[in-house]
C-alpha cells in the first residue's frame, strides 16, 4: 500500500460552530479566527494505492458551486483536487474508487463536476462508495442538516450507476489493510477508514476529529447531529488510539496533517504532529 496526501484547498467556517459549547477565549488559542469569527480549515483528502486499485478518500468542495455559495465558505488557497492528483502523477480517469466518508458538501462536492448543463461524475471510471444507512439519511435530510447535503453533489452519483454501498457493521473490511469504522454522532453512519501502513495504524478522522484543536473531549462541533454520541465515540477512539499509538490523519486541520495522542493527567492530549510523508 502507498498513501498520498491530496490537498484540495482551504475554506472558512464559523469558529463558534466548529467548537460548540467551548468558549472562543479557549479555542482561539489553537484555531485563531479572523475579524468575522471565521477559522481556516483544510480539505485534505487521501489517495490509496493498493494493487490495481487507486482509491480517493473524500473529494473536497469542488468548483461547480456558484459565487453566492462560495462567498459563504471563502474557498481559497492554491491547491485543487486535480492539481494535487497531477502532482502525484495521476488523473481523475485513473481513480478506480471514490470512498466518501459522508456526503456533506465539503467532503463530496468534488465528486461531481459540471459539463455544460449536466452534472456528471468527476471520476468516470470509479465506483463511488457510501453506505445504505448514510445514503438514505442524506437524500431525505432533516431541516438542520439539509444545507450540508446538496442534491447536486449526491443525486448524480446515484443516477450514474456508479454508486456502491459498504456493509454497515462495527468494523467492515474494504480491502486488505483497509478497514472501515462507523461513527454516528456527526451524521448518521459516517465512515472512518482505518489503514495498516508501514507498521502503523492510521485512522482517517474525517469529522470525528477535525483538527488537533478538537482533541479534548468537550470540543464537539455544533454541526454534529448527535453531540452526546460524538462525545462517547471520541472517548472510545481516543483512548484506543492513545493505548495503541494510532495515527490520526486530519482532514480539516489547516496546519497539521497527522498526529498521535497520549494519556495525561488532564485526559487525552496531543502527543506528536507530523506529515504523512515522514513515515
Residue 255's pLDDT is 96
CATH number for domain 2-278, candidates 3.60.15.10, 3.40.1280.10, 3.30.565.10, 3.40.50.300: 3.60.15.10
Pairwise pLDDT comparison (69 vs 84), residue with the higher score: 84
Residue 169 has pLDDT above 80, yes or no: no
d(CA 144, CA 23): 22
- Which whole-number Å values give the CA distances from 262 to 192, 203, 242, in the listed order? 20, 15, 5
* pLDDT tier at 65, thresholds 50, 70, 90: confident
* pLDDT tier at 138, thresholds 50, 70, 90: very high
Segment 85-103 mean pLDDT: 97
Residue 66's pLDDT is 84
Residue 168 has pLDDT above 90, yes or no: no
Segment 35-59 mean pLDDT: 97
- Backbone angle region of 256, left / alpha / beta, with phi > 0 → left and psi within -120 to 50 → alpha: beta
Domain residue ranges in the chain: 2-278
pTM for the full predicted model: 0.95
Residue 87's pLDDT is 97
Residue 69 has pLDDT above 90, yes or no: no
* pLDDT tier at 117, thresholds 50, 70, 90: confident
d(CA 187, CA 83): 30
**pLDDT, mean over the chain:** 95
Amino acid at each position: 500500500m502507498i498513501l498520498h496526501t491530496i490537498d484540495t484547498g482551504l475554506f472558512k467556517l464559523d469558529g463558534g460552530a466548529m467548537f460548540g459549547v467551548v468558549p472562543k477565549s479557549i479555542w482561539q488559542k489553537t484555531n485563531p479566527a479572523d475579524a468575522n469569527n471565521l477559522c481556516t480549515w483544510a480539505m485534505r483528502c487521501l489517495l490509496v494505492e493498493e494493487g490495481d486499485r487507486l482509491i480517493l478518500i473524500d473529494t473536497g468542495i469542488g468548483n461547480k458551486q456558484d459565487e453566492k455559495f462560495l462567498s459563504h465558505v471563502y474557498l481559497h488557497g492554491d491547491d485543487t483536487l486535480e492539481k494535487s492528483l497531477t502532482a502525484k502523477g495521476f488523473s481523475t480517469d485513473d481513480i478506480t474508487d471514490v470512498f466518501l466518508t459522508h456526503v456533506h458538501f465539503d467532503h463530496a462536492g468534488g465528486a461531481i463536476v459540471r459539463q455544460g448543463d449536466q452534472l456528471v461524475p468527476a471520476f468516470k471510471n470509479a465506483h463511488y462508495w457510501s453506505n445504505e444507512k448514510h445514503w438514505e439519511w442524506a437524500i431525505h435530510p432533516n431541516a438542520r442538516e439539509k444545507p450540508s447535503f446538496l442534491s447536486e453533489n449526491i443525486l448524480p452519483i446515484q443516477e450514474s450507476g456508479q454508486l456502491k454501498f459498504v456493509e454497515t457493521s462495527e468494523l467492515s473490511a474494504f480491502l486488505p489493510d483497509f478497514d472501515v469504522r462507523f461513527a454516528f454522532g456527526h451524521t448518521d453512519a459516517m465512515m472512518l477508514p482505518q489503514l495498516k501502513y508501514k507498521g502503523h495504524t492510521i485512522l482517517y478522522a474525517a469529522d470525528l476529529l477535525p483538527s488537533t484543536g478538537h482533541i479534548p473531549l468537550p470540543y464537539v462541533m455544533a454541526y454534529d447531529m448527535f453531540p452526546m454520541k460524538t462525545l462517547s465515540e471520541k472517548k472510545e477512539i481516543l483512548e484506543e488510539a492513545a493505548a495503541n499509538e494510532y495515527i490520526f490523519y486530519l482532514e480539516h486541520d489547516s496546519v497539521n496533517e497527522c498526529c498521535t495522542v497520549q494519556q495525561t493527567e488532564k485526559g487525552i492530549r496531543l502527543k506528536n504532529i507530523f506529515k504523512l510523508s515522514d513515515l
